[in-house]
Structure 1
Amino acid sequence: MKTKKTIGRIDKLDLPELGLVKVQAKIDTGAYTSAIHCSKIHIEKDKDGTDLLVYTISAKRLGQGMKAKKFKTSDFKLKRIKSSNGQVQERYVIKTKVKIFNKIYNTEFSLSDRSHMKNPILLGRKLLSGRFVVDVTEENLSYQYHQK
């Protein structure tokens, strides 16, 4: 039987492919898909006519010393996702890596405007299932583990 790590309700994590470190995330077993706060989300065509998803991750949502980062990718899809208020929305979804407890996981993040939310990242069940047990009385367990 595979041992599951205990993770708290809030943690700081890294997204190495996006160059993001120690970004605060809410652990949410009620959400299926993970989400990351982005703005200026749109499609552009490259010189070959391929669709590119363009998005910006805001600096003020990432913490001290971070600058806004603009990304372009052709590896994306459009998915129907139920938001926290129960409405179904179409959102762009990207694949990237997330580092938790010094281990790298491949996962998907939907891009959404989380400016009205406290945490710029939400980790959902798709990533958590089979890997983690959530203890809502704890915070930053992965971050503390990383500091050792």
Structure 2
Amino acid sequence: MKKDKPERKLIGRREMVDFPELELFEIEAKVDTGAFTSSLHCDHIREVDLPNGQRAVHFELVHESNPAYNHKVFEFTDFDLRTVKSSFGDVQERYVIRTKVIIHGQEIETEFSLSDRSDLKYPVLLGRTLLRKRFIVDVAKKNLSLKAKNSPKKRSNSPKNSPL
């Protein structure tokens, strides 16, 4: 008997995403099927010793175009340090964390490498590990999840528009 495949949602080359654990909402992300791991723009990334003897990674989220993103400091005790090859061919050691991201209504826990993306247009990159078996990418389109979220069909079912 053939298993039912989960329905894959159509997304564009750019999408708006939410990070509930990081208290970040409607952050524009670049969809990149060539990147293996997703990436999150951070600054002041450092490993620290905690008073309880554990190690943690501390980082600040920064993006000039989104004030809600600016200079929030986070601490993750569950992290990894990995060798990552950038799209420019540079090999770097990067910290990797697991966190939840919401894209097109789906909450997904996945890995994000922490990196300085200040020279790049988008603070978030969504890689193929996140995309695989969940989404189909149409590079001719953008922000399909946001358009679906704001469509009249979706809004008519929201509590603020329901009859008393």
Match of 1:113 in 2: 116
Shift of 1:2: 2.6
Flag the structure with higher helix content. 2
Shift of 1:132: 0.7
Match among 125, 142, 161 for residue 122 of structure 1: 125
Unaligned runs of 5+ in 2: 155-164
Flag the structure with higher strand content. 1
Unaligned runs of 5+ in 1: none
Match among 13, 20, 34 for residue 17 of structure 2: 13
Q: Distance in 1 between matches of 2:63 and 2:85?
A: 26
Q: After superposition, where does 1:1-148 map in structure 2 within 5 Å?
A: 1-61=5-65, 63-147=66-150, 148=154
Q: RCO (CA 8 Å, sep 6+): is it higher in 1 or 2?
A: 1
Q: Between Structure 1 and Structure 2, how many residues are aligned?
A: 147
Query: Does the 8 Å contact 1:59/1:69 carry over to 2?
Result: no
SS, match of residue 84 in structure 1: coil
Q: Distance in 2 between matches of 1:66 and 1:92?
A: 19
The TM-score normalised by the length of structure 1 is: 0.94
Larger radius of gyration: 2
* 1:68-98 per-position Cα deviation (integer Å, ceiling 9, x unaligned): 2100111100011111101221100000000
Which deviates more from structure 2 when the two are superposed, residues 17-26 or residues 65-74?
65-74
* 1:88-141 per-position Cα deviation (integer Å, ceiling 9, x unaligned): 211000000000111100100000000000000000000001111110110101
